[in-house]
Amino acid sequence: MTDRAPLDRPHADRPVVLSCEAIDQSFGGLKALKGASLQVHEGEIFGLVGPNGSGKTTLVNVVTGFYPPQAGRVRLFGEDITGIAPDKIAGRGVARTFQNLALFKGMSVLDNILIGRHVHMRPSALGTLFYWWWAQKEELANRRIVEEVIEFMQLQDIRDEPVDVIPLGLQKRVELARALVAEPRLLILDEPMAGMNQEEKEYIARFILDAREERGVTVLIIEHHMDVVTAICDQVVVLSYGEIISEGPPQQAIAHPRVVSAYLGERAAKRHQRQEAS
């Protein structure tokens, strides 16, 4: 693993963690992505926003290997990963949460988080043979990291609770913890605050910021809550019908007339512009 650049350097001067170059993706006659390109620099919290059906999750699925693109390239830490399988991409330092919770019901909070360490576990016949010296040492090391993340995410009090009986806000926190125990260099969050109240959103926003500052994680986040996007993101790309229609610092990108039109509709956007001018 290469040394991370200092976070006090301007974002544009840091190494590029993720580069998507002219990505096209279609499903039958539906063009889900049309030449989408973006760059995420080390240490950024990078927002991916747009109306429902704009192609945000499709782009993330291309990045993480679930959909090989019909055209374009994906580069991770400078390496071309286009078409590589999801498990191989995870092994290169990428962890992800999903729009719909992907926790294992009936299992405890602790066991769900432990699953996130699977990318670092290397089972072998030799390790099994010498379990008490070799495999046990690895297991204890993995457990220490899990315990550290549980404390970081303030989940100590519910660690032994079945994950399906705790509130949604805590379930979302567990899923984020499971991603963090993989020790990712790039963390991809797909609507991590969906369904949350204001207090729960503020908690998750704080944990995302702390993960960047304390754990050196670069974050790509899909989010509909614009207050969150403007509060925590360094750069934003806005998608509409598979095309990037605006990009830049959050306030600037979201205020673009094409973005207002995409969210409000053309007539409402014109009214909005008249109100802003008056």
Whether pLDDT at 128 is above 80: no
pLDDT band at residue 262 under the 50/70/90 scheme? confident
pLDDT above 90 covers a percentage of the chain that reads 67
Pairing label, strands 243-248, 235-240: antiparallel
pLDDT in tens, 163-199: 999 999 999 999 999 999 999 999 999 999 988 999 9
Range of weakest confidence among 133-137, 146-150, 177-181, 211-215: 133-137
pLDDT at 87: 92
pLDDT band at residue 13 under the 50/70/90 scheme? confident
The chain-wide mean pLDDT, for the chain, equals: 86
Whether pLDDT at 272 is above 60: no
Query: Can you tell me the mean pLDDT for 99-123?
Result: 82
Query: What is the torsional sign of CA 107, 109, 115, 121?
Result: negative
Cα separation, 183 vs 95, in Å, equals: 8
CA–CA distances in Å: residue 213 to residues 173, 189, 217: 18, 17, 8
CATH architecture of 13-93+191-278: 3-Layer(aba) Sandwich (3.40)
Considering the chain, tell me which residue range(s) the CATH 3.40.50.300 domain(s) occupy. 13-93+191-278
Partner residues linked to 40 by β-bridges: 18
Residue given tokens 């802003």 in the structure block: 276
pLDDT in tens, 74-95: 999 999 999 999 999 999 999 9
pLDDT band at residue 3 under the 50/70/90 scheme? very low
Q: What is the largest CA-CA distance in the chain?
A: 77
Burial (Cβ within 10 Å: 0-12, 13-18, ≥19) of residue 243: middle
